[in-house]
Structure 1
Amino acid sequence: MQTVEAFIRGLPKADLHMHIEGSIEPQLMLDLAHRHGMRLRWDTAEALRSAYAFPNLKSFLDLYFEGCKVLQTEQDFYDVTRAYLRRAHADGVVRAEMFIGPQSFTERGVPMESLMGGVLQAMDDARRDQGTSSGLMISVHRHRTEADAMAVLDQIMPWAGRIIGIGMGGAEVGNPPSNFAGFFQAARDRGFRITVHAGEEGPASYVREALELLRVDRIDHGNACLDDLDLVRELAARRTPLTVCPLSNLRLQVVTDLAQHPLKAMMAHGLHVTVNSDDPPYFDGYVTENLVACQSALDLSVPEIVRLVRNGLEAAWVTREERQILLTRLDDYLAGRTEAQA
C-alpha cells in the first residue's frame, strides 16, 4: 500500500512562493563563487549548510544577500533557475511561480538583461524539456524607497509580457505595505498582478493594508491575519490566496514548533491557503517536504492535503485553460490512486 509520504510526493502540485536567489543549493553557491574567483566564508557545502540556523528573519536576510553576490552573469541566473526547476519537477511541481529581486543585483552593476535573459531561458528550457509550467514575479525590497521600486518597474518593462506579477519582500517590521501604495497602483495600472509579503513577522494590520490599500491579488505568508477575525472573514469571502511557507516559518522562529503552526486553523476558517517552499535550501524543504512535515506535525488528513494542493493549482496565475489542464492532472492522479486501492 502506498504511504502517505509517497502519495504526497506524487501529487501534481504548485509552488507559488519561491525566491530564485534563495534557491541556490550550497554546492552550487560554492561552484558559482569559484567561477568568479570569489572566496566565501565557507569552504565546503556542509560548512555552508551548517550556517543555516537563523534566530529571526534579519539574520537569514544577511546571509541571503551575501549569497546573492555569486549571481553575476546570464549563465549564473540560468544555472540557478534551471537547477530549481529540475528539482521542482522531480518533486511533482507542475506549476512554479518564482520571485526574483533585481535590486540585489543591479545595485552591483549586473545588467537587467543578464538577469532576465538567464532566468527566462531556463524557464523556456524547463517547459520544453520536462513540461514544467512556470511564471516569473519581480519583487522589490521594502527596506528601500518607493522611488527605488518605481525605477525597477521602469527597468522591467521591456519584458512585461513575460512577467506575471509584482511583489514585495524583505524585513517586514517597520516597513508597512502602505509605504508603497503609489508603486503598487502604478504596477496595477501597467497591467501586473499584485502580491505582497505580509503577516509573516509583521502584524495583522500589514495584511489588511495589503488587502484594502494595495488591493493585492495574493498575500505571501499572511499568518498574522488570525489576530483579526474581521480580516479573516474578509479574506475568506474574497477567497484571497495566501501562500504559506511552514518550514520557512519554523526555521525563522515565526513558530517554535511546527505543531503550533496556524496552517490548520487557517484552513478551518475557510481561508484559501496554499503550501510553498520560499527559500528551500535555507529552510531544508522544497514544497513536498513542507507538505510531508505539516501532515505529520498537524495530523492533516489526506483530503486536507489534497485541498491544499488543489488550492495551489487554483491560485496559480495562469489562463483558465491551463488551470483546467493542471486540475485535470490532479484529478487523474487521484482517480488512479483510487483505482489502485480498489
Structure 2
Amino acid sequence: MSDFIAQLPKAELHVHLEGTLEPELSFALATRNGVRLDYDTPEALIAAYDFHDLPSFLAIYYKAMEVLVTEQDFFELTYAYLKKAREQNVLYCEPFFDPQAHTSRGVPFATVITGIHKAQEAARAELGIESQLILCFLRDMSAESAMETLLASLPFKDWIVGVGLDSDEKHNPPRKFAEVFKLARENGYKLTMHCDVHQLNTHEHIRQVLDEIVVDRIDHGINTLDKPVLYQEVAQRGLGLTVCPVSNRFVVQNLTTAEIRRMLELGMRATVNSDDPAYFRAYMNENLQALADDGMTRDELAQLTRNAFAVAWLPDARRAQYLDTLEQYLRQAA
C-alpha cells in the first residue's frame, strides 16, 4: 500500500502555503531578517505544536509568519512546498495564500504574490509540477479589509485562479463577505470557502456557502453529512470537498475516515489534502497512508484522487490529460 500511495499521481486542492513553513526554513528566514523566535531550535518549535482546536492552532500559525518579509522569502517558501509535493508525485496543486496576514505587518501585496508566482514558474519548469494560486481572505478581519485585498489582487488576477475564506469561523459567517465574493466572481475568480469541522453555527454557514455565496467548492465540509438537505445539495451540484484527515485528527481528534467513506458512498466528490503539513507533520502521502492504516482500500484512495482532478479548476482538456495519467497508473498497479 505504501508503494501504491507513493507512486499514485495526485492533485492537492487544500494546502496553505504559510502552513508549509518548515521549522528549519523558519529559523533560516528569522536569522536573515533579524526576527526573534520564541524557540531555540527547530525541534523545540515542533515540540510546541500542541493543537487541540482551531484557535490554538491559529495562535501559533500567525506568529510563525512574521519571518516572511521579502520576495525571496515567499519564493523559498513556495518552492520548498512545490518541491516536496512533486517528490510525493503531486502533479498539480492549487495552494492558498493569506495576503492580509502579511500586508497587515507592512509587507506589500506585490512582494508576497511576486515571490510566490516566480516560485510557481520555476517549479513548473524545473520540477514539472503545475500549480494555480488561490487568494484566501481572513474571516476574522473585516469585510472592508477583504475588499481592499481583492482590489489589490486585480492587477495580478492572471496569476490567481480563485478566492477562498479561512481562519476563525466563530461569529464570522460567509454572509459577512457576500459583496467581496460577488465582485470576485464578476472578475473571473472561482469561489471556495472553509467550512471547518464542528464549528459554531456550522450548518447555517454551510447553507450560506451553498445558497448565498454559491461557491464552486467547499473546503473541509465534513458537517454537510449531518443534514440530508446539505449533503444532497452538495452531491447534486457535484461540488468538491477538500477534506484534510491528519489536520482533523489534530483539531477535532478524529481522522474522519468514516465520514470520508460516507461521502464516497453518497456520491460526493470528497478529496484528500494536507492543509498545513509543516504543522501537522503530514504531506499528501502521509494523509493517504493514515487513511489506509485506518482501513481505506486502494479503490477508495483511487476514487478520492480521481475526485481531486475532477474538481480542480482546470481546463477540460488539461483535466482529461491528468485523469488519463491516473487511470493508466491504476491499470498498471492493479
Equivalent residues in 2 for 1:1-342, closer than 5 Å:
4-202=1-199, 203-252=202-251, 254=252, 256-258=253-255, 261-297=258-294, 299-338=295-334
User: Contact 1:77 / 1:119 at 8 angstroms: preserved in 2?
Assistant: yes
Shift of 1:173: 2.1
User: Contact 2:248 / 2:256 at 8 angstroms: preserved in 1?
Assistant: no
Counterparts of 2:26 and 2:317, CA distance in 1: 38
- 39-48 or 262-271: which moved more? 262-271
**Amino acid aligned to 2:316:** R
The alignment covers a number of residue pairs equal to 332
Counterparts of 2:194 and 2:301, CA distance in 1: 24
Shift of 1:26: 0.8
Shift of 1:199: 4.0
**Amino acid aligned to 2:236:** A
Counterparts of 1:21 and 1:292, CA distance in 2: 23
CA RMSD for the aligned pairs? Answer: 1.1
Structure 1: stretches of 5+ with no match in the other structure: none
TM-score (norm 1): 0.95
Q: What's the CA shift string for 1:1-29, capped at 9, x where partnerless?
A: xxx11101110001100001111011111
Shift of 1:288: 1.1
Counterparts of 1:183 and 1:68, CA distance in 2: 25
Counterparts of 1:246 and 1:336, CA distance in 2: 27
**Amino acid aligned to 2:240:** P
TM-score (norm 2): 0.97
Q: What's the CA shift string for 1:82-122, capped at 9, x where partnerless?
A: 00000000011001110001001111111111111110000
Counterparts of 2:242 and 2:99, CA distance in 1: 21
User: Contact 2:99 / 2:109 at 8 angstroms: preserved in 1?
Assistant: yes
Shift of 1:243: 0.4
Counterparts of 1:232 and 1:117, CA distance in 2: 38
Structure 2: stretches of 5+ with no match in the other structure: none
Structure 1 segments of 4 or more deviating over 6 A? none
**Amino acid aligned to 1:201:** H
User: Contact 1:177 / 1:209 at 8 angstroms: preserved in 2?
Assistant: yes
- Structure 1 residues 259 and 22: alpha-carbon distance in aligned structure 2, compared to 1, 3 A threshold: closer
> Sequence identity, in percent?
40
- 177-186 or 329-338: which moved more? 329-338
User: Contact 1:164 / 1:317 at 8 angstroms: preserved in 2?
Assistant: yes
User: Contact 1:100 / 1:138 at 8 angstroms: preserved in 2?
Assistant: yes
User: Contact 2:9 / 2:89 at 8 angstroms: preserved in 1?
Assistant: yes
SS across alignment from 2:132: strand
User: Contact 1:33 / 1:70 at 8 angstroms: preserved in 2?
Assistant: yes
User: Contact 2:245 / 2:257 at 8 angstroms: preserved in 1?
Assistant: no
SS across alignment from 1:143: coil
User: Contact 2:249 / 2:256 at 8 angstroms: preserved in 1?
Assistant: no
**Amino acid aligned to 1:304:** E
Shift of 1:186: 1.0
**Amino acid aligned to 1:185:** K
Counterparts of 1:257 and 1:293, CA distance in 2: 11
Shift of 1:321: 1.4
**Amino acid aligned to 1:144:** M
Counterparts of 2:268 and 2:196, CA distance in 1: 14
Shift of 1:201: 3.4
